[in-house]
Structure 1
């Protein structure tokens, strides 16, 4: 899967799952602030990632993820390592 495909897929399911307009999701944007995530939302996010991409996610994986670009890079790295 190419990076543009990852970005499109991630933005699509995030906009749907967290009920935000896809136009507010930008690479430099804050994942937590843009999606208004709380601790339970992170659990939902893990489930959505696993169901959309088929790899397991650990809570500690989110420690370094601050922006959407960080998130895209994380998904890309996980997909390329499998």
Structure 2
């Protein structure tokens, strides 16, 4: 179990884990908003949704690497493909 998962499953640590996860999501949403303002992302994309989906993908890939489904370079390639699609609109 990763430290992040541990903080979400231990009652004493859960509030800190949720706060950290929310802070990361909010940080990423702000970066996606900035990309929209610079014309790098479509205006109709929702930055909080993009952030949540991207983090969910990263978390899933982390689990897949730990389980041996993917190696690290493959996980990076998959996450990069996701981000490339966001930023190119493909």
* TM bracket, shorter-chain basis: 0.3 to 0.5
Higher RCO, 1 vs 2 (CA within 8 Å, ≥6 residues apart):
1
TM (normalized to structure 2)?
A: 0.31
TM (normalized to structure 1)?
A: 0.33
Q: Which has the higher helix share?
A: 2
Structure of greater Rg: 2
